[in-house]
């Protein structure tokens, strides 16, 4: 947090990951698929990065790079084997409840109960975040109209379309108005219209001073949205910096291919 005391213009650290290592034990089936002798899969291999307050940070990486694993660690769903990460100064290892109270986390693995309606679930999760009835009501009005959920507020989640489900998930993930938003592949499986609703929303949140971290393998999304990028390949940070730094004047996609070749072949 050294930046804290620095001048007004210096950005403040909001998320810092330090040497995060995470190994999964593979099941017998996975072992064959991964052709792993040891039965272990190193998903994150000493990953470090820093995101600053008020920016959108993009975690870019190919399938299996470890993006979701990193974000799950930030959300305290899983624990790192080594290293620690800090969100607004709270350690994900030592103060998981404080971390959870300050973040809004979205990933495809978090499901909503099919049986309940968006309105009910909004109320339920709102109470778990300690919100009172009035604030909750107001917030629900805002978010439901923002995402066009109003008409579906009383439809069971199980009966909603994929896109509407994703919008409900987003609304619920940030209902407590967190200062840090962590979205894993937020536009996956969405049509361009719905995807735009999501990216517009993220830009809006940034404008309100929120800090955002998104993971994706979609270059255009990073180019459109992100201030800074971290490129993860094989569980390691291959490059980190502003969008301009990382792409180095080329389209991001080309820069990524170069990076990938260099990292994988070790040249």
Partner 1 sequence: MSNILTIIKKEFSRFFRDRRLVIGTLLLPGLLIFVLYTLMGSVFADTSETYTAKVVNPSEAFASLVAPEGEDAAILLSEIEESDLDAAKAEVKNGDADLVIVFPEGFDQALAGGQTYPVGQAPNVEVWYDSGSASSSAAYNLVYSLLDGLENSLSNMFDVNFAGGGDLVSAAEAEASYYAMLLPFLILTFLYSGCMGIAPESIAGEKERGTIATLLVTPVKRSELVMGKIASLSVLSALSAISSFIGTFLALPKLIGGSIGSAFASYSAGQYFALFAVMLSAVLIIVSLISIISSFAKSVKEATSLSVPLMVIVMLVGISTMLFTTHAHAAFLIPVYNCVQVMAEIFSMQFSWVNLAITLGSNLVYIVLLVWVLTKMFKSEKVIFNS
Ligand X SMILES: Nc1ncnc2c1ncn2[C@@H]1O[C@H](COP(=O)(O)OP(=O)(O)OP(=O)(O)O)[C@@H](O)[C@H]1O
For binding to partner 1 (CB under 8 A), which residues are involved?
A: 24-25, 75-79, 97-98, 100-101, 103, 105, 109-116, 120, 124-125, 127-130, 172
In the three-class reduction of DSSP (H, G, I as helix; E, B as strand; rest coil), residue 25 is classed as strand
In angstroms, the CA 132 to CA 137 distance is 9
Closest separation in Å from C-beta 97 to partner 1: 5
The verdict on 187 binding Mg ion (CB under 5 A) reads no
The verdict on 110 binding ligand X (CB under 6 A) reads no
Closest separation in Å from C-beta 158 to partner 1: 10
The binder of 61, among Mg ion, partner 1, ligand X, none, by C-beta within 5 to 8 A per type, is ligand X
In angstroms, the CA 29 to CA 35 distance is 10
In angstroms, the CA 163 to CA 204 distance is 20
Report whether 105 contacts 252 (CB < 8 A).
no
Closest separation in Å from C-beta 202 to ligand X: 19
Q: Which is nearer to ligand X, 62 or 158 (CB)?
A: 62
* Cα 30 from chain centre: 25
Q: Residues 210-249 vs ligand X: string with x where CB under 6 A? A: -------x--------------------------------
Who contacts 43 (Cβ-Cβ below 8 Å, separation ≥6)? 22, 23, 24, 66, 69, 235
Closest separation in Å from C-beta 45 to Mg ion: 16
The verdict on 206 binding ligand X (CB under 6 A) reads no
Q: Which is nearer to ligand X, 39 or 141 (CB)?
A: 39
Other beta carbons less than 10 A from residue 241's beta carbon: 13
Who contacts 237 (Cβ-Cβ below 8 Å, separation ≥6)? 47, 48, 49, 230, 231
Closest separation in Å from C-beta 134 to ligand X: 38
Stretch that binds ligand X, among 66-74, 90-98, 130-138, 218-226 (CB under 6 A): 66-74
The binder of 115, among ligand X, partner 1, Mg ion, none, by C-beta within 5 to 8 A per type, is partner 1
Contacts of 186-193 spanning 24+ positions with Cβ under 8 A: 186/106, 186/214, 186/216, 187/216, 187/218, 187/221, 188/108, 189/162, 189/163, 190/162, 190/163, 190/166, 191/163
Closest separation in Å from C-beta 227 to partner 1: 25
The verdict on 43 binding ligand X (CB under 6 A) reads yes
Closest separation in Å from C-beta 126 to ligand X: 29
The verdict on 61 binding ligand X (CB under 6 A) reads yes
Three state DSSP letters for 116-180:
CCHHHHHHHHHHHCCCCHHHHHHHHHHHHHHCCCHHHCCCCHHHCCHHHHHHHHHHHHCCCCCCE
DSSP β-bridge partners for residue 139? none
**Interactions with Mg ion, residue window 66-85 (CB under 5 A):** 68
Would you tell me which residues interact with ligand X (CB under 6 A)? 24, 26, 30, 41, 43, 61, 63-69, 217
| Chain contacts with Mg ion (rule: CB under 5 A) | 68
């Amino acid at each position: 947090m050294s930046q804290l005391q620095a001048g007004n213009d210096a950005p403040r650290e909001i998320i810092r990951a330090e040497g995060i290592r995470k190994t999964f034990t593979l099941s017998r089936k996975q072992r064959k698929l991964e052709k792993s002798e040891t039965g272990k899969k190193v998903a994150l291999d000493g990953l470090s990065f820093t995101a600053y307050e008020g920016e959108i940070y993009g975690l870019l990486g190919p399938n299996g790079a470890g993006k979701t694993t990193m974000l799950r660690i930030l959300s305290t769903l899983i624990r790192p084997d080594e290293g620690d990460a800090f969100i607004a100064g709270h350690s994900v290892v030592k103060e998981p409840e404080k971390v959870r109270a300050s973040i809004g986390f979205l990933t495809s693995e978090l499901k909503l109960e099919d049986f309940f309606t968006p309105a009910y679930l909004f109320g339920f999760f709102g109470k778990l975040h300690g919100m009172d009835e009035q604030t909750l009501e107001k917030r629900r009005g805002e978010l439901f109209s923002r995402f066009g959920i109003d008409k579906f507020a009383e439809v069971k989640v199980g009966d909603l379309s994929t896109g509407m489900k994703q919008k409900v998930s987003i609304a619920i993930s940030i209902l407590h108005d967190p200062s840090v938003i962590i979205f894993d592949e937020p536009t996956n499986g969405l049509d361009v219209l719905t995807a735009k609703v999501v990216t517009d929303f993220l830009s809006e949140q940034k404008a309100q001073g929120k800090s955002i971290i998104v993971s994706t393998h979609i270059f255009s999304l990073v180019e459109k949205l992100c201030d800074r990028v971290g490129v993860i390949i094989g569980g390691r940070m291959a490059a980190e910096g502003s969008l301009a730094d990382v792409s180095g004047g080329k389209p991001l996609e080309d820069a990524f291919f170069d990076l990938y070749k260099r990292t994988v072949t070790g040249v």
